[in-house]
Amino acid sequence: MPLPLMFIIPAAVTGVAGAGKTVKSVLDNRQANLITDDANARVEDAQGYLERSRDLCANALSNLGEEKLFVLNNSIAQFIESFEQIKNLELEESLGLEELRKLHIDKESMAELKEMQQFAATVAGGAAAGIAGGALTAFGAYSAATTFATASTGTAISALSGAAASNATLAFFGGGSLAAGGAGMAGGMIVLGGLVAGPALLAMGLITGKKADEKLEMARINSVQADAICEELGNFAFQCDAIRRRSDMFYTMLARLDARFVPLVFELETVLEDEGVDYAQYSPEAKSVVLRAATLAGSVKSLLDTPILTEEGALTAESEGLLDVLGVSLEGE
């Protein structure tokens, strides 16, 4: 073999091997970039879906809070004004006593209903200035009785706003922020979903300065982590959707009850005009109006009294049970 070939052939082999490694490095680097881009895109999509679910849920809770205020400040306020005028009230002797007992229509519950209405009036009184963010969400999410129990009627707006700012669940649904003293979105995620928020909220970038093969391995690890993050975010979005559906069902049920309650309130006012305020002197028809109005007021109060969410952000069992009971009751009429 001529002397030059002794050097040329090994050099060529080495060059080909080097070129092969270079090509593999380029391909590995490109694949790493593709895997990481895909992982980031999937996490961003999952976060976007969660954000939309969160917004819809927040709106549903706020709408329910607004409906509660409307009912308290209109039909309930009118009912209380008329009902309190009636003297010698003996509902215990009326037909339908058992149903009445189940709804706890007594002096104590009527006092609670009146206190709720007074609290709602102070909240509505501040509506012109704009109810602070999260106040209606708080009113929708929790029992009206629980909400006003933490505040005097003179501080209704600030109490609702304070509850929204300090509760991580409500903070997540737009009721407060870290700046306002709440736990913010991350805190709400931890409360509602048990999610370790940090990793889920961090963008997964490439590790620069690594060799192509190490970079590819890191990209694959990121992809696996992205799968786990997307699953958790998806589960959390599912929970938001469940809360929204429960809120919508409460809103619909409250609106249906109020649609039946309003005519009875008018009938009750007519009874007072025609037969006075002495229940003992009422005709059977008038007593029936009083009984039905009081019974339906109890149904409305039960909706106002029942929280949808626990302080930890989970759906309450009693809210589901109440919807079943009231649904059967309405269908049976």
CA distances from 325 to 7, 207, 253, 332 (A): 93, 57, 11, 11
Band (pLDDT 50/70/90 cuts) for residue 143 is: confident
Q: Which ranges of the chain does DSSP label H, i.e. alpha helix?
A: 3-71, 77-83, 97-102, 107-125, 135-141, 144-149, 156-166, 168-170, 184-193, 197-201, 212-275, 284-305, 317-332
**Tens digit of each residue's pLDDT (9 = 90 or more) over 243-252:** 999 999 999 9
Residues in contact with 124: Cβ distance below 8 Å, sequence separation at least 6, in sequence order: 69, 73
Mean pLDDT score of the chain, rounded to an integer? 74
Give the angle 272-275-278 at the CA atoms, nearest 5°: 80
Interaxial angle between packed helices 284-305 and 107-125, expressed in degrees from 0 to 180 and rounded to the nearest 10: 60
Q: Tell me, yes or no, whether 238 lies in a domain.
A: yes
Q: Tell me, yes or no, whether 132 lies in a domain.
A: yes
Q: Tell me, yes or no, whether 10 lies in a domain.
A: no
Q: Tell me, yes or no, whether 125 lies in a domain.
A: yes
Band (pLDDT 50/70/90 cuts) for residue 11 is: very low
> Greater confidence, 50 or 330?
50
Longest Cα–Cα distance of the chain, Å, equals 132
**Tens digit of each residue's pLDDT (9 = 90 or more) over 189-245:** 555 554 434 344 343 444 444 577 788 888 888 888 888 888 888 888 898 899 999
Closest CA to 328 of 299, 286, 294: 299
Q: Tell me, yes or no, whether 319 lies in a domain.
A: yes
Entry field: residues in the chain: 333
Rounded CA gap, 173 and 166, in Å? 12
Are 41 and 228 in contact by the 8 Å Cβ rule? The answer is no
Q: Is pLDDT at 104 greater than 50 in this prediction? A: no
Domain that holds residue 235: 35-332
Q: Tell me, yes or no, whether 235 lies in a domain.
A: yes
Count of structural domains, the chain: 1
Q: Is pLDDT at 107 greater than 70 in this prediction? A: yes
Q: Tell me, yes or no, whether 1 lies in a domain.
A: no
Rounded CA gap, 167 and 163, in Å? 6
According to the model, what pLDDT value does residue 8 have? 45
Q: Tell me, yes or no, whether 8 lies in a domain.
A: no
